[in-house]
Chain A
Amino acid sequence: MKKYIYKVSALVLFAGVLFTSCDPEIEGFEPSKGAKLDFTKYVAVGNSLTAGYQDRGLYREGQLNSYPAILAQQFAFVGGGAFVQPLFTEAQANGTGYLKLTGFNPPANPGASPSPILTPVTTNLAVRTDVAPLPGGPRLTKFTDTVNNLGVPGMSVLSSFTPVYGGINPHFERLLTDAEVGQKNYITKVGESQPTFFTLWLGNNDVLTYATNGAVADPNNPFSGLTPAAQFQQIYGALVATLTKGGEVEGVIANIPDVTSVPFFKTVTLAAVRASAGNQDLNIYFKDGETTRIIAAGDLIPLSTQSALGRVDMIQTPNGTAPIPHGFHPLNPLNDNEVLDVNEVKEVTDHTKVLNDIIAQVAAANKIPVFDVNKYFNERFAKPFVLNGVVYSSSFITGNIFSLDGIHLTPRGAAIVANEFINVINKNYGASVPKVDETQYRAIPLP
C-alpha cells in the first residue's frame, strides 16, 4: 500500500510541477502598423519641443527622452527602423547648459509658496569657443550626419523658409555643413530626409516668441513677431507638400498650443506675489503702452519677470532719487515686455487660432490627421488629472508635466504627449501602435 501512496504522490507532484510552469497569458493587444503605414524611416519635424529641449536648455538627457525618441521606440514594435538624433556626446552631455532645481527658499511669509532655486548647469557643454557666436547664441558642436529628429529649438514656420536662418540659429547651424550654412533652408533639409512616416509640430514660435517677450517684437530679430497668416499659409503648405510628396507619405500634424496653458504664464500671479510679500493690498504696476496700469485679472506675468519683480532701482522722483522696488510703485512699473496684458493675451490667442485654422486646412487638404494639441493642453492639463496613481497638472514644478522653464515638457510630459500622438495614429490609420509606460520617464527630481 505504501508503494501505491508513493506512486500517487509522485504523480500529484509531477502534475503540480507541470501546472506551475504555466504562466497566465493575457489575450490582449496585438501590435500592428495597420494597412497604410510604413515606419521604416520616421522623421520628426519641429522646434524645441521636438528636439527634447527642456529646463531652458538642450542637453543629452532631454534629447534621449524627446517625444519623437519615445515614439520611435514604440514604432519599433510595428516595423519601425533606426532613429538617429543629433545627440550631444557623453563628454558634452550638458549641451547648451540648462537649469537645475537645487533647493527651495522657504516662504517669505506664512501662506506663501517656497520659491525654487534654479541653478544653471555650466559644465560639460557643447558650446564652441573656437568660432564666433551667431546672432542666436554661441555655436554648438556640429552633428552633420543624416538625422531622423529634425527638431530645431527656435525654428518657426517663418524661419523654416529662409536660408539665412542657418547662420542665425546655432541649433540649425549645427545640423548643416559649413558650406550649407546660410545657403540651405530648413524645408530643404526636411525634404532631403525622405521619410516614410513623419510628425510635424511646428508653428509655436510663430506666436510664442512674441508672447514670451510680453508681446513686444525685437526690432533686431525678424522672427520675433506674430507671423502673418498669409505668409504662414504659404510656407506651411510648402512644408507639408514636401513631406507628403503628394499623398505618398503619411504622418501626423500637431498644432499650436495655447500659450496661456503653460506654467510660464500661470505661475506668477498677483495672489502669489501678495502672499509672498505678506501684503494683501500690494499692487503691481506695469506700462501698458504709454500709460501705467495696475495688474488686474487677465494680465499675465511671465515666469521670466519674476526675478525682476521687486528689484530695488534708484528712481528719479520730484524729491530726488529714491530706491523703489520694480513693479510695486507707479514710478517704477514693470516694462511693457515684462507683462502679457489682457489685450495682448487676446491678440496672441486669436492669432494662434488663425494659424491653427490654417494648419487644419492644410492637413485636411493633404489628408493628414491632426493632433489638436491646443485642445489637449487646454482640456487635459487645465485641471489636475490622475494617471497611474500620479497627479499631474500644469502647475510649475509640482505639476510634473512641464520642465523648469515652464514651457517645455519633462520626459514624463513627453511620454504623455507621445501616447497622445499614438492615439491619433491608431485612431486615424487603423493601427495598433503600443503605448508607452509614462511612469518609466522622470518627472521633476527634487533636491
Chain B
Amino acid sequence: MKSKILALLGSTLLTGTAMAGGYQVNLASQRQIGMGHTGTGLQTGTSSIFFNPGAMAQARNGVTIGASFITSKIAYQAPETNTTVNADNPTGTPFHAYGVFGITDKLKAGIGAYTPFGSTVRWGDEWNGRFGLNELSLQAIFVQPTLSYQLTDKLGIGAGLTVAFGSVNLQRSLPVENSNGDEGKIELDGGANTAFGFNAGIFFQATDKLSLGLNYRSKVDLEVEEGDVTFTNVPAAASANFQPGTQFSAALPMPATLTLGISYTPTNKLTLALDISRVEWSAYKELRFDFTKDVAGRPNSVNARNYEDTYIFRLGGEYKVNDALALRAGAYLDKTPVEDGYLTPETPDADSRGLSVGIGYAFSEKFGVDASFLYINKKERTDAANLSGGVPGTFKSIAYIPGVAFNYNF
C-alpha cells in the first residue's frame, strides 16, 4: 500500500526541504502561503482539511491541487576559517491535494494529502562535516480522511485521521580510508511503517467580521524497521567493523502542533488573519539508530537533539480587487526548536523570518488559480555543536519558494 502510493506520486514530488523550524514544512496551500500561511481562524476552502477541519463544514464541494518549488540555499563556514561551503540542495516540491464533498447540508467529508514534514539537504562528501552528514532525505506524506459538522450557524467542528507514510535516507562518510585514500561511506535507507494520528479543529464565526479557530494536529512517530545499511569503500582491515547485511531501526517524531487563529474582515474586500502555533518539538530527544550488527564496535548510534517547544507567529491579509482577482501578503516568525550546542548539518536551524505575496484569480465560478511566492531568511547562527555530535561553525539559510495551485468547485 505504502510503496504503491509512493510510486504513484513519483519520487520528485516527495522531496520537501525543511524550511520551517526543525524539519517541518509549512506549505499546505498556495492561497494561505500568500497570506503568511495563516488559515486556522478563517474559511480557507478545501485546505481547511489541513488548517482547521472545523471550518471544512462550510467549504464548497471541490478539489484543489498545488505544489511549491523550494530553492533553498545553505552556506556554512567552519570556525575561524575563510572558506564557505554551500549545500547543493535539490529543488524540493512539497505538494498538497484536497477534495471536499457534502454528505448533508451540515456534514461534509473530505480527503487530503499533504507533506507537513521533510528535509533534503546535500552537503557532499568533501566538506569538513562529512563524517556527520553527506546528505539527508527525509520524506513524509500524510493522507487525511476528514469529517466536519456544522453544529450551529456559528460553530463547526471537524476531525480527520492522519495516515502517515515516510522514508529516510541518510549518508555519511566514515573516518576510515583505504590505501587509495578513498573514505568509507555509510548509507541508511528505509521506509517507515505506516503511522496514524489525527487532526481536529473547532471553527467559530463570532460575528460577521470576526472568526476564530483552534486546531490540533497530533504527534506522529515515524518508525523505520529493518532499514538497509550499506557500506562502501571500507578497507578490508576494517571490514569487521562495518559488516554487510547490517540493518537498522530508528524512530523520528513528527511533533504535534496546536494553532489558534483569528480572522477579521473589516470590509468585504479585505481579510486579515493571525495565527499562533505551538509546535511540540520537545518530542525530539535524540536521533538514534539501532543496528542488527555492531557498527564501529557499537550496537547503536545516538546523538542528542533535545529540541524545545516553539511558537510560530503568522500574519496575513487578502485584498479582493474584484470578484475574480485577489492579492495577498503575509509574514511570519518561526522560532527555532534547536537549542545552543545542538545545531546539526541535517537541520542547521535558526529563527526564520518569512515574507510572502500571493495572487488568486478565478476564471469562472468553478475554476481558479492561486500563485504564491515565499521568501524565507533564517538568522545567521554560529554554534559549537558540542552537544549534538554536530559540526561546529556558522550556518546561514535562505529559500525562495514559488508555488501554484488549481482549484475546481462543483
Whether B380 pairs with A27 at a CB distance below 8 angstroms is yes
Cβ-defined contact, A446 with B71, below 8 A: no
Q: Decide: A390 and B131 in contact? CB cutoff 8 A.
A: yes
* Contact of A391 with B175 at beta-carbon distance under 8 Å, contacts A12-B373, A447-B236 already known: yes
> Apart from A434-B81, A446-B236, what are 15 other A-B pairs with CB-CB below 8 Å?
A1-B324, A25-B396, A26-B75, A29-B82, A30-B82, A104-B237, A389-B131, A389-B132, A389-B389, A434-B80, A435-B81, A437-B81, A437-B83, A446-B176, A447-B235
B interface footprint on A14-58 (CB within 8 Å = 1, 0 otherwise): 011001101111111111000000000000000000000000000
Q: Is the CB of B128 within 8 A of A5?
A: no
B77→A447 contact, CB < 8 A: no
Per the bound structure, the CA–CA distance linking A426 and B74 in Å amounts to 28
Bound-state CA distance A424–B169 (Å) is 42
A335 at the interface (CB under 8 A from B): no
Q: How far is the CA of A95 from the CA of B63 in the complex (A)?
A: 75
A196 CB → nearest B CB, Å = 22
Any A CB within 8 A of the CB of B254? no
Q: When chains A and B are docked, how far (Å) is the Cα of A295 from the Cα of B80?
A: 47
On whether A77 and B396 interact (CB within 8 A), knowing A12-B373, A447-B235, the answer reads: no
A-B contact pairs, 5 of them (CB 8 A): A16-B373, A28-B82, A388-B392, A400-B175, A445-B180
Q: Is B375 an interface residue, CB under 8 A from the partner?
A: yes
Q: Give the complex CA separation of A404 and B89 in angstroms.
A: 40
Q: Considering the chains assembled together, what is the distance between the CA atoms of A12 and B179 in angstroms?
A: 52
Q: Which of the 9-residue segments B21-29, B306-314, B397-405 touches chain A?
A: B397-405
Chain B residues with Cβ below 8 Å from A5 are: 361, 369
Question: Are A437 and B80 within 8 A (Cβ)?
Answer: no
Question: Measuring CB to CB, which residues of chain A are less than 8 angstroms from any residue of chain B?
Answer: 1, 5, 8-9, 12-13, 15-16, 19-20, 22-31, 77, 101, 103-104, 386, 388-391, 400, 422, 426, 432, 434-440, 442-443, 445-447
CB distance from A355 to the nearest CB of B (A): 31
A19 B324 Cβ-Cβ under 8 A: no
Give the residue of B71, B359, B380 whose beta carbon is less than 8 angstroms from that of A26: B380
Contacts A26-B394, A445-B177; A437 near B373 (Cβ below 8 A): no
Could you give, for residues 176-203 of chain B, a 1 whenever the CB lies within 8 Å of some chain A CB and a 0 otherwise? Answer: 1111110000000000000000000000
Cα of A1 to Cα of B397 in the assembled complex, Å: 38
Q: Which 5 A-B pairs have the closest CB atoms?
A: A389-B131, A446-B235, A446-B237, A434-B82, A24-B396
Alpha-carbon gap, A8 to B325, bound state (A): 12
**A24 with B75: CB separation less than 8 A:** yes
B350-393 to A contact mask, C-beta < 8 Å, 1/0: 00000000010100000001010101000010000000010110
* B86 at interface by CB-CB < 8 Å: yes
Bound CA–CA A25/B77 (angstroms):
10
B394, A28: Cβ atoms closer than 8 Å: yes
Please, how many angstroms separate the alpha-carbon atoms of A420 and B186 in the complex?
Answer: 31
- Are A25 and B75 touching (Cβ within 8 A)? yes
Interface pair B129/A20, CB less than 8 Å apart: no
Partner of B129, one of A30, A389, A442: A389
Residue of B nearest to A102 (CB): B179
Chain B residues near A26: list those with CB within 8 A: 75-77, 84, 380, 394, 396
Q: Which residues of B contact A77 (CB under 8 A)?
A: 82
CA distance A422 to B373 in the complex (A): 46
Give chain B nearest CB distance to A441 CB in angstroms: 11
Q: Which of B80, B84, B398 has the most CB of A within 10 A?
A: B80
Q: Judging by beta carbons under 8 Å apart, are B400 and A16 in contact?
A: yes
Instruction: Flag if A16 contacts B402 (CB, 8 Å).
Output: yes
Complex: chain A residue closest to B84, CB-CB: A26
Q: Is B103 an interface residue (CB 8 A)?
A: no
Complex Cα spacing A422 to B398, Å: 32
| Residue B122 interfacial (CB < 8 Å) | no
Chain B stretch 141-194: residues in CB contact (< 8 A) with chain A = 175-181
Q: Give the A-B contact count at a CB cut-off of 8 A.
A: 117
Would you give the shortest CB distance from B61 to chain A, in whole angstroms?
A: 25
Q: Is B206 an interface residue (CB 8 A)?
A: no
B295 smallest CB distance to A (angstroms): 14
Name B392's closest neighbour in chain A (CB-CB): A388
- Asked whether A446 and B238 contact (CB < 8 A) given A24-B74, A437-B83, the answer is yes
Query: Which residues in chain B, 92-150, are within 8 Å of chain A measured between CB atoms?
Result: 128-132
Say whether, besides A26-B380, A443-B177, A447-B237, A435 and B79 are in contact (CB < 8 Å).
Answer: yes
Residues of A within 8 A of B212 (CB): none
- Within 8 Å of chain A (Cβ to Cβ): is B73? yes
Which residues of B are found within 8 Å of A9, using beta-carbon distances? Answer: 371
Q: State the Cβ distance, A283 to closest chain B Cβ, in Å.
A: 31
B residues sitting closer than 8 Å to A (CB atoms) are 71, 73-84, 86, 128-132, 175-181, 235-238, 324, 359, 361, 369, 371, 373, 375, 380, 389, 391-392, 394, 396-398, 400, 402
Query: With a CB–CB cut-off of 8 A, which chain A residues contact B132?
Result: 388-389
User: Do A28 and B373 have beta carbons less than 8 Å apart?
Assistant: no
Contact pick for A390, options B74, B175, B178, B400, CB 8 Å: B175
A439 touches B181 (CB 8 A): no
How far does the Cβ of A402 sit from chain B's closest Cβ, in whole Å? 16
Decide: A437 and B361 in contact? CB cutoff 8 A: no
How far does the Cβ of B249 sit from chain A's closest Cβ, in whole Å? 22
The answer to whether A24 and B359 have CB atoms under 8 Å apart is no
Which chain B residues border A390 with CB–CB below 8 Å?
A: 131, 175
Residues from chain B with a CB closer than 8 A to the CB of A20 are: 71, 400
Q: Within the assembled complex, what's the spacing in Å between the Cα atoms of A22 and B86?
A: 12
A25–B396 alpha-carbon span in the complex (Å): 7
Residue of A nearest to B377 (CB): A24
Given A5-B361, A16-B400, answer yes or no on A446-B178 (Cβ-Cβ < 8 Å): yes
Whole-angstrom distance between the Cβ of B126 and the nearest chain A Cβ: 8
CB neighbours (8 Å) of A29 from chain B are: 77, 80-82
A437 touches B78 (CB 8 A): yes
Distance in angstroms from A356 CB to nearest chain B CB is: 27
A48 CB to closest chain B CB, in angstroms?
Answer: 23
B75 close to A388 (CB less than 8 A) = no
Q: Which of chain A's residues have a CB closer than 8 A to the CB of B84?
A: 25-26, 28
A445 to B371, CA, bound (A): 54
List B contacts of A437 (CB < 8 A).
78, 81, 83, 128
Residues on the B chain within 8 Å of A101, using CB: 237
A397 to chain B, nearest CB (A): 10
Question: Do A446 and B75 touch across chains, with their CB atoms under 8 A apart?
Answer: no
- Whether the Cβ atoms of A15 and B373 lie closer than 8 Å is yes
Q: Is the CB of A446 within 8 A of B179?
A: yes
Contact of B131 among A31, A388, A436 (CB under 8 A): A388
Q: Are B398 and A22 in contact (CB under 8 A)?
A: yes
- Contact pick for A31, options B82, B128, B397, CB 8 Å: B82
Compute how far the CA of A16 lies from the CA of B402 in the bound complex, rounded to whole angstroms.
7
With a cutoff of 8 Å between Cβ atoms, the chain A residues found around residue B80 in the complex are 29, 422, 426, 432, 434-435
**Most A CB within 10 A of own CB, among B86, B361, B389:** B361
Query: What is the distance, in angstroms, from A444's C-beta to the closest C-beta of chain B?
Result: 8
Q: How far is the CA of A13 from the CA of B132 in the complex (A)?
A: 36
Contact B397 A24 (CB under 8 A): yes
Bound Cα distance A28, B396 (Å): 11
Q: Which residues of B contact A438 (CB under 8 A)?
A: 128
The CA-CA distance from A16 to B70 in the complex, in Å, is: 11
> Which chain A residues lie closer than 8 Å to B389 at the CB level?
386, 389
Minimum CB–CB distance from B298 to chain A (whole Å) comes to 11
Which of A1, A104, A389 counts the most chain B CB atoms within 10 A?
A: A389
